[in-house]
Amino acid sequence: MNSKIWLSSPHMGNDEFNFVKEAFDTNWIAPLGPNVNGFEQDLQTFTGAKYTAALSSGTAAQHLALIMLGVQAGDEVICQSFTFSATANPIVYLGATPVFIDSEAETWNMCPDLLEQAIKDRIKKGKKPKAIVPVHLYGMPAQIKRIMAIANKYEIAVIEDAAEALGSTINGKATGTFGLMGVLSFNGNKIITTSGGGALISNDRKLIDQARFLATQARDNAPHFQHSQIGYNYRMSNVCAGIGRGQMKVLKDRISQRRQVYDTYLRDLGDIQGIEFLPEPAGYFSNRWLTTILVDPEKTKGIDRETIRIALDAENIESRPLWKPMHLQPVFEKYPSFTNGVSEKLFNTGLCLPSGSNLTADEVQTVIKNIKKHF
């Protein structure tokens, strides 16, 4: 049996261990410290965001962003349906109601037309949404300029979920920097990892100061422990941030390696009838976090996504269906949704292929060979 070919596994560079060792040598193990400051600085330089708070996860960043927008029980928050559950969960932590929006077919992200329709509908029903949460899924930027124009028209804040899209841009501007706040993740499967971690980015200094305050138990400025607000334990540790500083040194390589994986799949599988890739619209740059294909059984003589997934699995190759939309999830289906069938179809026909930056050329060819043999 081949050794396992993973979907997206951690890929360390040469410097991570040195930053972690420095934390140990100086006994700076606890939260905060020079690695956290350094990592935040690196993220700002890379994304162009003015301010950053390094946090324990992307989910924590999303939770704090919603809290700072004043989202409370009974409020409504507009959320992309085609995503990982961590985009929507923090809305429910706060007792608010997610209103799910389906995707457009060009980037697979939040459909601006449905977004505007939903805003109008919710306002008519007496409730203006408190925030809009679009996602840049699989690294492909959403139609964020159109989404921002609609958000500005109705004066609703945007929190961009860029957890999968560090390094993705539109005309050179980083995803996560279009809205009021952006969420990043450094979970183990993302393009770079701190073993677990996340960040909130913004050009608004007050918001990031407030995020840091809330993330360290909302301690008032006093010698004793005094609290006027409920706090959270959401800061990134100095040890994890050391991994992040090392990973930032190789991020550009990781992006070109993932894009290379995509290009190879496209070159070798792109001509097969019934297999479709997701091209970049003009001006869009995807970090190609995961390469995804759509398999149309009507054009492949019945070969479908599951045929391929199960066959790959038998060869010890990990692949996975695309995210199951939130409006179809048992835990979320009771919430309002505005749908057009796009994300449901993507879920039914789509497959994520092994896409790690640490895949060898041979491993990519093994995947390709095991897909090609069906055709």
Ligand X SMILES: *Cc1c(COP(=O)(O)O)cnc(C)c1O
Footprint of ligand X (CB under 6 A): 57-59, 83-84, 86-87, 135, 161, 163-164, 185, 187, 198
Nearer to ligand X, 166 or 269 (CB): 166
Q: How far is CA 170 from the centre of its chain?
A: 16
Least separation in angstroms between CB 63 and ligand X: 9
Cβ proximity to ligand X: between 102 and 164 the closer is 164
Nearer to ligand X, 114 or 183 (CB): 183
**Cα distance between residue 217 and residue 161, in whole Å:** 24
Instruction: Indicate the residue whose CB is closest to ligand X.
Output: 58
User: In this complex, which beta carbon is closest to ligand X, that of residue 86 or of residue 110?
Assistant: 86
Question: For ligand X, which is the closer residue by CB, 42 or 161?
Answer: 161
- Closest contact distance (angstroms) between CB of 65 and ligand X is 12
CB of residue 162 to ligand X, shortest distance in Å:
8
Q: How far is the CB of 123 from ligand X (least distance, A)?
A: 27
Nearer to ligand X, 180 or 192 (CB): 192
For ligand X, which is the closer residue by CB, 36 or 303? 36
In the bound state with ligand X, the residue whose beta carbon lies nearer, of 86 and 142, is 86
Phi and psi at residue 185, to the nearest 5°: -130, 140
Closest CA to 131 of 98, 173, 105: 98
Question: In whole angstroms, how close is the CB of 325 to ligand X at the nearest point?
Answer: 13
| Spatial separation of the C-alpha atoms in residues 214 and 224, rounded to whole Å | 17
Cβ–Cβ < 8 Å for 262, 289: no
Q: CB of 250: closest distance to ligand X in angstroms?
A: 19
Q: How far is the CB of 194 from ligand X (least distance, A)?
A: 9
Nearer to ligand X, 180 or 371 (CB): 180
CA-to-CA distance for 184 and 163, rounded, in angstroms? 4
Q: Least CB distance from residue 6 to ligand X, whole Å?
A: 16
Distance CA 133, CA 279 (A): 23
The CA distance from 350 to 306, in Å, is 9
Question: Least Å distance between CB 42 and ligand X?
Answer: 18
